[in-house]
Amino acid sequence: METTFGGPLGTLIAGLGMCAFYVALLWINALLATFLTPLFIVPLTWIQDWWMERRKLAA
């Protein structure tokens, strides 16, 4: 016996599933931004400090 969720019930189930998927996608992207941003910012500040020190010594 095959059951399908067609019609209005199927539309609601598909809508809820897509909503849950996109909420999870936003959550994962927010976590990635929170944890990966310092991995790029911190080394850039080291390079910036090195660059400014080099400019001070040259002047």
Q: Are 15 and 8 in contact (CB under 8 A)?
A: no
- Asked if 5 contacts 13 with a C-beta cutoff of 8 angstroms, the reply is yes
More confident call, 43 vs 5: 43
**Mind listing the pLDDT tens digit for each residue in 6-57?**
788 889 999 999 999 999 999 999 999 999 999 999 999 999 999 999 999 8
Pairwise CA distance, residues 32 & 40, whole Å: 12
Domain regions of the chain by residue span:
29-59
Which DSSP state fits 6? Answer: -
pLDDT at 1: 66
**Whether pLDDT at 5 is above 80:** no
Kindly tell me if the per-residue pLDDT of 2 is higher than 80. Answer: no
This prediction's pTM = 0.58
